[in-house]
Structures are given as structure tokens and as C-alpha cells.
């Protein structure tokens, strides 16, 4: 321990990061060419990251940025040891994902009714009914089903979200057979206090269900939220290379926490991720080139803290 350092208690020795830049990141950017998406996927596969959210199978009118999902996935290099997943909105999307060879599939429901209606034109209960059918179909096909609960820490329309409401959604999807659950900080409303409240409410009812947290840095709290989650025993996180992606309901704000910022912090804390930070920074520079704008990652701008300036 560094002299004067505060003992933070026992933290995980290893953390699993799912890279979501190719899907959640690029989905919120202006459309980029298929070839560029493949280059980014391939570059990320060489960083040592263990999981990548590659594409989403959605209607091209709804998300034109993902209209070439089949072509991207067919051309991408599948790296041994990397688990690739796809997001789907419905049974049709799930069928496409299964046909493409995916065995890890994600589906989304919002914790707030207003956001869910704006997102998919259904109530939360209606979406949960659809998800129950989808989970059964995925498991029958030999695939795993992850349910992402967006707006878990706050809704841009309704404000604060009761952690008990999030826990009730987990009750339902676990009963319906979900393999894992993740919580999305959709517009960056999470704070350490709210992270603790949601994780505690869910863990009290489902201590053994794998949980993953997805933070945005819209209001500058993402790394603080990651640290709080670590202290609560969470070991799985989403992050997006370079901080790719935005917040559609928070105009002008940054979106996903940058993968290299999370990795940089964790490695300095002695927590292993399996990721080569230098290779990740190269991928972040490629992401910036692809989208043609400066990305918000501080570590991409300044470099890691070990990069010294010549006197």
C-alpha cells in the first residue's frame, strides 16, 4: 500500500469488460462504412478483451447504422477466446442472430414505462411478456439470453427510478429463464449512491444471478460508479472504445464510458482485465479516425499515466 493510502477493502482481482463500441457506440454515431466497422471489430479482437458486443439485428429503418449487421459479422475475424454477442429487439432479430451463428443474445427492456414506450412503443409489462417468449426460443436453440434493463438508475422522462422497480423486473426475467442481467445507465444519471441502491436491491433477492453494469459518462460519474460497483463485488462491465456513442436524450453530452479509461484505472489498482492497454489505445485512435471526430476519452488524449514527458 502506498504511504497514506486509504484501505478500500477487498476488491476483485480480475474484471471482465465487454467492449460495446462496435454496436452501442457506432449505433449512436453517423453511419460508417461496413469495411470500417470490420476493421474496428478486428482491432478490438486483438486487444485481449474477452467479450465484444458486435452488432444488433434491428430493422434498418429503426437503426440505419446497423443495417449491414449481417455483412459486418460475416466479414469480421472471429478471434479464439473472445465471446461475441448481438442485441435483438424481437423474435425476428433473434432468428437473424441465431442464423448468423451467435450464441450469446441480448434483449432490452426499460425500467421506466415512459422510456419503454418511447423506445419500443410498448409498456414494460408488454415487453416483459414478449421477452419471456424470446428467452424460451433462445434457450431452445442453445443460446443464452441476457436481459438489459435500461434506465435502471434514472429516466430522462420520469426522473428517479425506484430500485425496487428494477428488482421486480429482475424477478420476472429470472423466473422466465434469463441467464444474466445487466443494468444500463442510459443517459448518465447514475451516481455511486444510486449504484449502491440498485445493486443492493437486486442482490438481496437474487444473490447468484450474474450482473453486469453499463455506465455512461454524461455527467462525469462513470469511473466513480465503476469503483462503487467494484466495492459491491461486481466484476462485469460494459465500456466503449474511445467513449464512442452518445446520449440521444442528452444532446451534446458524452455517452459510454471509454474502455481505455476503465482499463487504465483498473490496472493501476492492480485489477487484471486481460486487456493490452497499448493495443486498446491503437483501437481507440482507429475509432476516432473512423467516425471523423474527436472522441471524449481522456486517456486517448493524454496517454496513460506511465507515459512521461521528456524533461
In a domain? residue 12: no
In a domain? residue 271: yes
In 10 A of CB 266, how many CB atoms? 24
Which mean pLDDT values do the consecutive 10-residue runs of the chain (311 residues) have? 52 98 94 97 98 96 95 98 97 96 97 93 96 97 98 95 98 98 95 98 96 96 98 98 83 86 98 98 98 95 91 84
Catalytic residues: 247
> How confident is the model at residue 255, as a pLDDT?
87
CA 235 to centroid of chain Cα atoms: 13
In a domain? residue 9: no
CA–CA distance, 229 with 224 (Å, rounded to integer): 9
> How confident is the model at residue 167, as a pLDDT?
98
CA–CA distance, 281 with 262 (Å, rounded to integer): 12
In a domain? residue 14: no
> How confident is the model at residue 284, as a pLDDT?
98
> How confident is the model at residue 252, as a pLDDT?
67
> How confident is the model at residue 89, as a pLDDT?
93
**Which pTM value belongs to this model?**
0.95
In a domain? residue 8: no
CATH number of the domain at 159, please: 3.20.20.70
From residue 183, alpha-carbon distances to 141, 202, 264, 296 in Å are 25, 11, 23, 23
The domain in which residue 293 lies consists of 20-301
CA-based nearest residue to 118, from 30, 180, 213, 186 = 186
Beta-ladder partners of 236: 16
In a domain? residue 29: yes
In a domain? residue 162: yes
In a domain? residue 84: yes
Total domain count, the chain = 1
CA-based nearest residue to 234, from 183, 270, 163 = 183
> How confident is the model at residue 7, as a pLDDT?
47
Amino acid at each position: 500500500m502506498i504511504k497514506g493510502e486509504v484501505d478500500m477493502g477487498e476488491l476483485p482481482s480480475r474484471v471482465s469488460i465487454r467492449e460495446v463500441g462496435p454496436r452501442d457506440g457506432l449505433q449512436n454515431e453517423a453511419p460508417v462504412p461496413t469495411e470500417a466497422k470490420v476493421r474496428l471489430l478486428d482491432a478490438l479482437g486483438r486487444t485481449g478483451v474477452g467479450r465484444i458486443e458486435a452488432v444488433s439485428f434491428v430493422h434498418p429503418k429503426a437503426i440505419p447504422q446497423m443495417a449491414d449487421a449481417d455483412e459486418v459479422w460475416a466479414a469480421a475475424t472471429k478471434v479464439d477466446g473472445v465471446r461475441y454477442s448481438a442485441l435483438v429487439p424481437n423474435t425476428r432479430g433473434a432468428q437473424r442472430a441465431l442464423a448468423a451463428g451467435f450464441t450469446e443474445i441480448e434483449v432490452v427492456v426499460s425500467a421506466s414505462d415512459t422510456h419503454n414506450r418511447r423506445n419500443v412503443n410498448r409498456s414494460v409489462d408488454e415487453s416483459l411478456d414478449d421477452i419471456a417468449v424470446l428467452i424460451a426460443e433462445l434457450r431452445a436453440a442453445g443460446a443464452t439470453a441476457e436481459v438489459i434493463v435500461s434506465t435502471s438508475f434514472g429516466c430522462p422522462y420520469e426522473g428517479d427510478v425506484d430500485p425496487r422497480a428494477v428488482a421486480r423486473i429482475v424477478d420476472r426475467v429470472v423466473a422466465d429463464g434469463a441467464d444474466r442481467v445487466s443494468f444500463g445507465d442510459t443517459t448518465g444519471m447514475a451516481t455511486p449512491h444510486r449504484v449502491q441502491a440498485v445493486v443492493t436491491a437486486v442482490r438481496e433477492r437474487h444473490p447468484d444471478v450474474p450482473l453486469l453494469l453499463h455506465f455512461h459518462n454524461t455527467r462525469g460519474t462513470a469511473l466513480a460508479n465503476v469503483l462503487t460497483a467494484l466495492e459491491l463485488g461486481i466484476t462485469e462491465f460494459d465500456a466503449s472504445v474511445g467513449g464512442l456513442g452518445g446520449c440521444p436524450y442528452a444532446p451534446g453530452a458524452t455517452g459510454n464510458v471509454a474502455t481505455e479509461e476503465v482499463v487504465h484505472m483498473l490496472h493501476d489498482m492492480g485489477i487484471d482485465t486481460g486487456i493490452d492497454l497499448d493495443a486498446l489505445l491503437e483501437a481507440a485512435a482507429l475509432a476516432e479516425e473512423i467516425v471523423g471526430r474527436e472522441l471524449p476519452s481522456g486517456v486517448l488524449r493524454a496517454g496513460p499515466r506511465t507515459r512521461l514527458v521528456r524533461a
